Amino acid sequence: MKARILLIEDNLQNRYLARFLLEQRGHEVVQAETGPMGLQLAAEVRPDLILLDIQLPGMDGHDLAGALRRDPRLKSIPIVAVTSYAMAGDREKCLAAGAEGYIEKPINPETFVAEVERFLNSPREEPT
Ligand code: MN
């Protein structure tokens, strides 16, 4: 299933790698480099899934997940946190902020797309 994925990540290398891996499998990738830009793009492009870095300029991933969850138009879009935080409790913090799941950095090219696709449950409704 091809999906439209919003990637909110400020690190160029991580964006490049994630986009390359997802596009290779046929997914459409829309990118944002800051929290506020991510929130705006989410409303504009209505992605099937949001990949969310936690350490972001402007608005951190926890606050952004909360803002997405409070928006009635956006609250049903699955959010997957992608973060290198290894601190105890960070996974729970991401989930409490509204993320469906968690993928650890560094991105593993062997498993990344399969991990993302686990969170793509409902097919996108295409106009007929
Ligand atoms: Mn970051």
What separation in Å is there between the alpha carbon of 52 and the centre of ligand 1?
Answer: 9
Neighbour tally for 36: CB within 10 Å: 14
Distance of CA 60 from the midpoint of ligand 1 (Å): 9
Closest alpha carbon to 78 in 124, 19, 109? 124
Report CA(15)–ligand 1 centroid distance (Å): 10
Q: Is the pTM of this model over 0.85?
A: yes
**pLDDT score at 60:** 86
What's the pLDDT tens digit per position in 71-122?
A: 999 999 999 999 875 666 777 888 888 899 889 889 999 999 999 999 996 5
What is the Å distance from ligand 1's center to 70 Cα?
23
CA of 36 to the centre of ligand 1 (A): 14
d(CA 53, CA 64): 10
User: In angstroms, rounded to a whole number, what is the distance separating the alpha carbons of residues 31 and 65?
Assistant: 16
Coil, strand or helix at 86: coil
Proportion of the chain in helix, strand, coil states, percent, rounded to 5: 35, 20, 45
58: left (phi over 0), alpha (psi -120 to 50) or beta: left
Tell me which amino acid residue 107 is. I
